[in-house]
Amino acid sequence: MNENNRNMLLAIVLSAMVLLGWSLLSDRFFPTAAPQTQTVDNGKVKPIAQPAVVPGANAPQAIRARAVVLGETQRVRIATPSLAGSINLKGARFDDLVLARQRETISPTSRAVRLLSPAGANGAYFASFGWTGQGVAAPDANALWTASAPTLSPGKPVTLSWSNPTGQRFELIVSIDEGYLFSVRQRVVNLGAAPVAVTPFALVSRAAKSSDASSWTSHVGPISFLGAKAEYGIDWRRSTRIARASPATAVAAGSASPTNIG
């Protein structure tokens, strides 16, 4: 081995040590600070408002067989060349989804790769959409929605609807392509006597961390996109520490500005 090759190999080894070592040292010596809870204004200590728990993210439940959980509620079937599963009409949750063409192993008889799983089953992982508002009853995790069709498939969208006693009808217009793309349009029809103001939101809830390993070349963990910037700095260990420091804090993706509906 000549001197140039030796120097190149040494540079690669040192670079790898820096990249791998920094992740370990930063967690140990520069831990994520707990969220600030107080501030000083004109010499007075005032509490800082903390994020409210987002509707739709359930508390932990006893684990049961997935087939049992799926059979407890009415559902809209999902059928495409690439995906199979169902949408839960209780809470309008997207909580049952598998890849129709991909298997867990190279054996053609192995199980299909599962993406989403309902709350109460092993590996609970689901997405949902909703609204929040003052003085208006919005659908929550226990709301029973009505579907315009029994099956969601390419070219055949399904509208999910739920109405409150004061005349507001909440709708999710769901469509899907032949690949993997869902499109969900949120709409509120106000048939009441007065205007209402609501804020739409979307969330993804996961009960347990992924079994895949995260490394400096492949991030596995929470990701946010806020203020036109992607944030990858929170890994599973840091998110666990943050949750322990502030257990009432919930994180939602896809929040939007309040909408006035006349």
Separation of alpha carbons 117 and 125, rounded Å: 5
| The CA-based dihedral angle spanning residues 21, 27, 31, 35, taken in that order and rounded to the nearest 10 degrees | 130
Separation of alpha carbons 66 and 248, rounded Å: 28
pLDDT of residue 43: 61
Separation of alpha carbons 5 and 8, rounded Å: 5
Enter the DSSP assignment of 64: B
Q: Which of 262, 134, 255 is nearest to 191 (CA)?
A: 262
Contact 6, 14 (CB under 8 A): no
Enter the DSSP assignment of 59: P
Q: Establish how many alpha carbons lie within 13 A of residue 51's alpha carbon, considering only the half-sphere containing its beta carbon.
A: 12
Q: Write out pLDDT tens, residues 202-261.
A: 998 888 777 777 777 777 777 777 778 887 776 667 767 766 665 444 333 333 444 445
Give domain limits for the chain. Answer: 59-210+218-261
Q: Write out pLDDT tens, residues 16-58.
A: 777 666 666 655 555 544 555 556 566 665 565 544 455 655 5
Instruction: Collect contacts of 41-49 with beta carbons under 8 A, ≥24 apart.
Output: none
pLDDT of residue 233: 73
In CATH, what is the architecture of 59-210+218-261? Distorted Sandwich (2.70)
Q: Establish how many alpha carbons lie within 13 A of residue 146's alpha carbon, considering only the half-sphere containing its beta carbon.
A: 7
Phi, psi (rounded to 5 degrees) for 17: -65, -40
Q: Write out pLDDT tens, residues 118-155.
A: 999 998 999 999 999 888 999 999 999 999 999 999 99
